[in-house]
Homo-oligomer: A and B are copies of this chain.
Amino acid sequence: MTTLHIVDDDEAIRDALGWLFQSRNVPVSGWPSAEAFLEAWRPDTAGCLLLDIRMEGMSGLELFDRLLAKGCRMPVIFLTGHGDVPIAVGALKKGARDFVEKPFNDNELVDRVIDALAADAEQREREAGQAGLAARLGTLTQRERQVMELVVAGRLNKVIADELGISMRTVEVHRSHVFEKMRVKTAVELARLLTGAS
């Protein structure tokens, strides 16, 4: 299981949460400030975030914004003692996964964190697939990409040849290169790859 990152400037709370989660076999890493986590964050940082709102220095909300700007898509659960409806609504509408007020129910929080960790793992798996796809797309030449787009659009080779002003034979060559590079055997498989089908 991947890690739960706890960001809270109160060491006592970090420790208490650390205890709680470790006792449930959830790996934890603690951060004393938003700045510290923001600094350490990398695009491949996995897991989920448990974020206190009110902290010395950068607030949890601002950290969330900065992470979003950096392209972070990790699930974020806010934890706060002084909840406020507009803040909660704003956070959720920006994509936070949850917003929990202290005092919280231990079991409930653990469940939500576990769900979030699972969601993150699932999403990373999907993205890994997409990355492989993107890498293969990157090996295509311009012409191959053009031909591929027309193939996926359902055009026949002769039509593609017409539209690109080249011979059918050339289209066939590019087409077969595309199939080879994308590791598919038929146009339908290619279309499914690109339109993101199961």
Contacts and interface: CB of A to CB of B under 8 A. Distances in A.
Interface in A75-100: 83-86, 88-89, 92-93, 98-100
Contacts of A86: 101
Number of copies of chain A assembled together: 2
Interface residues of A, number: 28
Contact of A85 (B85, B152, B186, B197): B85
Contacts of A196: 195
A98 to B, nearest CB: 7
Contacts of A99: 85, 89
Given A154-B189, A156-B186, A195-B195, 19 more contacts: A83-B85, A85-B99, A86-B101, A88-B88, A88-B89, A89-B98, A89-B99, A92-B93, A93-B98, A151-B188, A152-B188, A154-B184, A187-B187, A188-B188, A191-B191, A191-B192, A191-B195, A192-B195, A195-B197
Contacts of A188: 151-154, 187-188, 191
A88 to B, nearest CB: 5
A158 interface: no
Contacts of A192: 152, 154, 191, 195
Contacts of A151: 188
Interface in A160-198: 184-189, 191-192, 195-197
